[in-house]
Amino acid sequence: MIWTRPDLITVDGELNIDITNPNIDKVIFDNVQQPQTAKKWTINVKPEISERDHNLQVFFTLGGKQYTSEITVSMQTKIDPLKPIVKENLDKVIKFGNDNNLGNILDNNDSTIKAKIQQINSRIIDFLQIAIAKKDIHSATLTAKPDSKGYQGSVVVKYNVVPATIVDLKIDLQPTTPTQQHKLIKIMSDKLILAQLQAQLIHSTMSIVKVKSQCLNQQQQVVS
C-alpha cells in the first residue's frame, strides 16, 4: 500500500510531538492551548479513519520580539496502488477460423459486419470501443478507439459481399393429362424473391397454381 500524499514526511501509526524550548511562550494545537511542564510540551496525535489536517502553532520570544511558527500536521490514509490497465490486442479478441473469414454477407455495412462477427466469434465483443477504419467488398479493418479501455491495435476480417438475388419469374404451365384442353398459362411476377411454385390437380377438371414469396401471394385457377 502507498500513502495518498507521498510528498510528505510520514509516520505510520500514532504520533507524539515533543517540544522543548525555554523561549516558547505557548503552544496551540487545533485551537486548543496545550499544557506544559517546565517548558516541555507533549502532544499525542491519534490515527484517523479518514484524511485530516491538524494545525500546530508555536508562540515564542527572541530578542524581545514575539514570533509565531505554524505547522500543519496532515493525517493521511494508505491506499492500494492503482493497477495498471492492461489492454488486449484486438487480433486476440476477434479471432475465428484460419483467416477471420466471415463468408458470404449481404452487404458491407458496419452493422452487418459487426453482427456477423458477434455471431461466429467465440468471445463477446464491446463494439463501442471499436471503429471500422476502412472496408471494401472483400475485407474490413477494425481498430480500437483511442479512448478504449480494454482494446488496442487492429484486426482484419474477410468476407464476400453477395447481395440478394432479384429475378423476373416466367413459368409455363401445361396440363398433365392428355384429355384436358391444352391451355398455356403464363405468370409474370414482379421481381419475386425466393419464389416457390406449387401445382395441384383437383379432381380432373381443375388446375390450381399457387405462388408464394416474401413479397407476393398469388393464386390463379384454370378450369378445363
- Give residue limits of the domains in the chain: 2-79, 88-161, 170-223
pLDDT above 90: percentage of residues in the chain: 47
Whether residue 217 has pLDDT greater than 70: no
CB 138 within 8 A of CB 152: no
Q: What is the mean pLDDT of residues 203-216?
A: 40
Secondary structure of the chain in HEC code, one letter for each residue: CEECCCCCCCCCCCEEEEEECCCEEEEEECCEECCCCCCEEEEEECCCCCCEEEEEEEEEEECCEEEEEEEEEEECCEECCCCCCCCEEHHHHCCCCCCCEEEEECCCCHHHHHHHHHHHCCCCCCHHHEEEEEECCCEEEEEECCCCCCEECEEEEEEEECCCCCECCEEEECCCCCCCCCCCEEEECCCECCCEEEEEEECCCEEEEEEECCCCEEEEEEEC
Q: Which grid coordinates are listed for 62? A: 527572541
CB 222 within 8 A of CB 205: no
Q: What confidence tens digit (pLDDT) does each residue in 125-184 have?
A: 999 999 998 899 899 999 999 999 999 999 999 999 988 776 666 666 555 555 554 444
Query: Could you tell me the fold of the domain covering 2-79?
Result: Immunoglobulin-like (2.60.40)
For position 48, what pLDDT does the model report?
72
User: pLDDT-derived band of residue 29, with 50, 70 and 90 as boundaries?
Assistant: very high
| Digit-coded pLDDT (tens) for 32-81 | 999 999 999 999 888 777 778 889 999 999 888 999 989 888 777 666 77
Query: What's the whole-number mean pLDDT along residues 190-205?
Result: 38
Grid coordinates of 58: 508555536
The predicted structure's pLDDT at residue 10 = 60
Does the pTM surpass 0.75? The reply is no
Residues in the chain: 224
Distances (CA, A) of 14 to 11, 51, 201: 8, 14, 101
Question: What mean pLDDT is reported for the chain?
Answer: 76
Residue 95 has pLDDT above 50, yes or no: yes
Per-residue model confidence (pLDDT) at position 45: 85
Residue 26 has pLDDT above 50, yes or no: yes
Q: Tell me the mean pLDDT in the region 103-129.
A: 93
